[in-house]
Structure 1
Amino acid sequence: MRKLLLPLLLMLLFIGESIFVELMPEHLFGGSNIIAPRFLIVALLFLTVYGPRRYGILYSFVFGLLFDVVYTEIIGIYLFMFPLVAYIILKLMKILQTNIVIVSIMVIIGIMLLELGVYEMYFLIHKTNMDFSTFLSLRLLPTTIFNMIFVILAAYPLKKYYDKLVASLDV
């Protein structure tokens, strides 16, 4: 039963992102801003840092593919970006301290890398016509601020859960 808690948590966060978008009033953060909740990547990055590293990368691949299948028209963008961001954060954390503040800052940077990477991929294949300055002001900044609030609220519970997961697996 304990082995199913991690996939269940990640699946709930995956579904929670779309539910949050549907229930969030448009005018709450300004009508023109585009806010993308990134609850799943936050949990995946914390898993990569605090949990078994292979779990973080593996679940990033699985949920990247699932994200592409469910939410996007193009298979491969999130399948590529989720594990890439997790890998970059994992490598950066090898030279930084793994206290919760530093990890939270790195998770925010990871969200920004994800947003920038997805934007650049869509821009390269001409799926978006938004210029970069508009992207920065209407999508990247509001998304970063919103997800920063989520990281502040979720960092400690995620760290505790992943610490218990590692202890139970004896990794």
Structure 2
Amino acid sequence: MKKFLLPLLFLFLFLLESFFAQYAPPEVFGRNYILAPHFLFGGILFLAIYAGRKYGIIYAAIFGLLFDIVWIEIIGIYLFLFPFITYLISKIMHVLQTNIIVAFFVSLVGIALLELGVYEMDFLIHITTLDFMRFLELRFYPSLILNAAFLLIAAYPLKRHFESFADSLRDE
């Protein structure tokens, strides 16, 4: 039963991201910031940290492709970056302690790497005209703050769910 809850959870996070991006006010604190929610990717990173690298990379590839198909004009950016960063984060977590505070900060690093990777790919193929400092000010920092707020709220429930998922896999 828990195996079926996992895709539903990630589908919910995917839809939550979409609703947030669509209905978030364009002006936040008197400025036009670009808020990029990465709730789904944060959940995938927590899955890789607490349930295992294999499941994290599989879900990262599936939802990276889904993300590319639904939102991006070029298929491959998220399909490559989601599993690659998930793999890097899971390798980093083999060195570090697996507690919720470390998982929170390492997941934020993963989200930061995703933002930087997407910006660099968009800049290389001339989709964006933002220079790097403007990108940091308008999108990177506000997006990190938004995703940190989400992870603060969702970290403990995600941790508990993925630990129980990992336990159910061991019991089978």
Query: Which of the five TM-score ranges fits, normalised by the shorter chain?
Result: over 0.9
Provide the residue aligned with 2:62 in structure 1. Answer: 62
Q: Percent identity?
A: 52
What is the RMSD of the two structures over their aligned residues, measured on CA atoms? 1.1
Offset at 1:2?
A: 2.6
Provide the residue aligned with 2:2 in structure 1. Answer: 2
Distance in structure 2 (CA, Å) of the matches to 1:18 and 1:31: 22
- Within 5 Å, give how 1:1-171 maps onto structure 2: 1-170=1-170
Distance in structure 2 (CA, Å) of the matches to 1:2 and 1:102: 25
Distance in structure 2 (CA, Å) of the matches to 1:116 and 1:141: 11
The amino acid of 1:122's aligned partner reads D
Offset at 1:10?
A: 0.2
The 8 Å contact of residues 64 and 79 in structure 2, kept in 1 or not, is answered as yes
The amino acid of 1:107's aligned partner reads S
The 8 Å contact of residues 43 and 158 in structure 2, kept in 1 or not, is answered as yes
Offset at 1:22?
A: 1.8
Q: Deviations over 1:93-126 (max 9, x none)?
A: 1111111000100000100000000000111111
Distance in structure 2 (CA, Å) of the matches to 1:29 and 1:52: 39
TM-score computed with the length of structure 1 as normaliser: 0.97
TM-score computed with the length of structure 2 as normaliser: 0.96
* Structure 1 runs of 4+ with >6 Å offset: none
Q: Gaps spanning 5+ residues in structure 2: where?
A: none
Between stretches 51-60 and 63-72, larger displacement belongs to: 51-60
